[in-house]
């Protein structure tokens, strides 16, 4: 029996629409950053507003419920308001990801007319100096804060996030305090920064946190959060230890997917140039959603997936349940789908070394 015969039904419930790969910021750790010269060519090949409107209708017909509008920086598109309105009017639950530095009056008016259900704002620092160093933008912080305040006037759920690297991890507490003070909200941060994918030109090895810093940051902030949730008189009575996560699948209840996750099963990405991907990190497996139409491209996509045997150290790894490894991460870190990514392996080793330790 072939795997595709026993695979559960696939439904494109959650779609990520990557309106552009371009961005107005030039962050050192950007997964998708291309050179300025390449960006000119990329812009010429982006789907038009009419193509996005048509794609949204096809997604609606295919049963999609949730749409994530992202980039690059989606607000960079001159026709953002037109694209956004045509998607929104179909009745999806819409999430918008933005760096908040390009919020114009026209965009704000459009979003006020059609408020996204959720807006994810990424802040890269707590000062213009950090934005200059990390993102190459001298007034980036002022612009992001002004944009975030404007977006906070909408009835949307706001989420604030950051990506921590060497140039901004010292700002983490300041960003968290700012978000708490200005918006009364908590911050989340990306635990791990991966190498650029799909032709991105950044080498993040020099700017990302060391495995030790990554694990320290993650544990410190988790512990702080747990402390905040406990009543003060209980804090000394609790011990927190890192444990192995429960494995998702058991032999009695096997779960067949294509990538080992929801990518291509219930989640789908349509790229800036109309490719259908199961995972935004994996350009290897794609069909053409413009030429074939979405429904056919979705149907055909599983037949593009070919995963090789992975490094024997990984396949026999006793720490697999603590490791972030997956095909997308392997591709980003190793540039292929079989090798063992040393950086990810080191993070897992750090986590393992903290297991059993009293953390609280
Ligand atoms: S990357 Fe390292 S920790 Fe992760 S599965 Fe492979 S060998 Fe195990
Ligand atoms: S990054 Fe990994 S877990 Fe996420 S969709 Fe891609 S393959 Fe799946």
Instruction: Answer yes or no: is pLDDT of 5 > 70.
Output: no
| CA–CA distance, 36 with 38 (Å, rounded to integer) | 5
User: pLDDT tens digits, residue range 229-243?
Assistant: 888 888 777 777 777
| CA–CA distance, 197 with 29 (Å, rounded to integer) | 11
Helix (H, G, I), strand (E, B) or coil at 292: coil
Ligand 2 pocket check for 351: Cβ under 6 Å: no
Q: Determine, yes or no, domain membership for 55.
A: yes
247 phi, psi to nearest 5 deg: -65, 140
Ligand 1: nearest atom to the Cα of 349: 3
pLDDT value at position 4?
A: 58
Instruction: Answer yes or no: is pLDDT of 148 > 70.
Output: yes
Residue 191's CB: how many other CB atoms inside 10 A? Answer: 15
Name the strands in the sheet holding 66-70, side by side, starting at the edge strand that comes first in the sequence: 187-190, 157-163, 118-122, 93-98, 66-70, 14-18, 267-270, 275-277, 286-288
Burial class from Cβ neighbours inside 10 Å (0-12, 13-18, 19+) for residue 114 reads middle
Domain range for residue 198? 11-209+243-306
Distance 174 CA to ligand 2 centre (A): 31
User: For ligand 1, atom 5, which residue shows the shortest CA distance?
Assistant: 314
User: pLDDT tens digits, residue range 307-318?
Assistant: 999 999 999 999
Instruction: Answer yes or no: is pLDDT of 141 > 90.
Output: yes
Ligand 2 pocket check for 337: Cβ under 6 Å: no
pLDDT value at position 199?
A: 77
pLDDT value at position 240?
A: 77
Beta carbons within 8 Å of 216's beta carbon, 6+ residues apart? none
Instruction: Answer yes or no: is pLDDT of 190 > 80.
Output: no
Tokens, residue 119? 């807006």
Ligand 1: nearest atom to the Cα of 325: 4
Residue of 75, 92, 76 whose CA lies nearest to 16: 92
Q: Which ligand is nearest to the CA of 260?
A: 2
By most ligand atoms within 8 Å of CB, the mutation choice from 312, 314, 350 for ligand 1 is: 314
Q: Determine, yes or no, domain membership for 326.
A: no
Q: Determine, yes or no, domain membership for 115.
A: yes
**pTM (whole model) above 0.85:** yes
Q: Determine, yes or no, domain membership for 42.
A: yes
How far the first Cα of the chain sits from its last, in Å, is 50
Angle between helices 342-354 and 211-229 (to 10 degrees): 40
Residue whose entry in the numeric block shows the structure tokens 């080498």: 203
User: pLDDT tens digits, residue range 51-63?
Assistant: 999 999 999 999 9
User: pLDDT tens digits, residue range 32-50?
Assistant: 888 888 888 888 999 999 9
In contact, 305 and 278? CB cutoff 8 Å: yes
Q: Determine, yes or no, domain membership for 82.
A: yes
CATH code at 92? 3.20.20.70
In contact, 196 and 204? CB cutoff 8 Å: yes
Tokens, residue 213? 């810093």
User: pLDDT tens digits, residue range 121-134?
Assistant: 999 999 999 999 99
Q: Determine, yes or no, domain membership for 324.
A: no
| CA–CA distance, 29 with 19 (Å, rounded to integer) | 20
Q: Determine, yes or no, domain membership for 158.
A: yes
Q: What's the domain count of the chain?
A: 1
């Amino acid at each position: 029996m072939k795997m595709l015969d026993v695979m559960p039904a696939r439904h494109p419930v959650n779609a990520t629409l990557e309106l552009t790969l371009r961005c107005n910021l030039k962050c050192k750790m950007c997964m998708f950053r291309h050179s300025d010269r390449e960006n000119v060519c990329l812009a010429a090949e982006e789907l038009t507003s009419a193509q996005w409107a048509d794609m949204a209708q096809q997604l609606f017909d295919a049963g999609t419920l949730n749409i994530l509008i992202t980039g690059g920086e989606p607000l960079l598109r001159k026709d953002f308001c037109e694209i956004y309105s045509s998607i929104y009017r179909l009745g999806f639950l819409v999430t918008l990801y933005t760096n908040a530095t390009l919020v114009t009056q026209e965009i704000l008016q459009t979003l006020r007319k059609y408020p996204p259900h959720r807006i994810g704002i990424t802040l890269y620092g707590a000062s213009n100096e950090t934005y200059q160093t990390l993102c190459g933008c001298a007034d980036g912080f002022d612009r992001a804060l002004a944009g975030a305040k404007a977006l906070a006037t909408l009835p949307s759920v706001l989420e604030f996030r950051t990506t921590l690297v060497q140039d901004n991890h010292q700002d983490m507490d300041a960003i968290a305090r700012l978000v708490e003070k200005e918006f009364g909200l908590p911050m989340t941060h990306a635990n791990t920064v991966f190498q650029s994918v799909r032709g991105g030109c950044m080498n993040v090895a020099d700017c990302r946190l060391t495995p030790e810093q990554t694990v320290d940051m993650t544990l410190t902030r988790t512990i702080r959060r747990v402390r905040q949730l406990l009543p003060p008189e209980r804090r000394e009575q609790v011990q927190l230890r890192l444990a192995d996560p429960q494995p998702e699948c058991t032999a009695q209840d096997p779960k067949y997917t294509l990538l080992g996750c929801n990518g291509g099963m219930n989640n789908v990405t349509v790229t800036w140039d109309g490719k259908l991907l199961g995972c935004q990190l994996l350009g290897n497996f794609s069909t053409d959603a413009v030429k074939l139409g979405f429904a056919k491209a979705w149907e055909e996509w599983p037949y593009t997936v070919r995963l090789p045997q992975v490094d024997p150290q990984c396949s026999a790894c006793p720490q697999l349940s603590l490791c972030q490894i997956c095909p997308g991460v392997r591709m980003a870190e190793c540039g292929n789908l079989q090798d063992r990514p040393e950086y990810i392996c080191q993070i897992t080793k750090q986590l393992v070394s903290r297991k059993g330790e009293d953390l609280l």
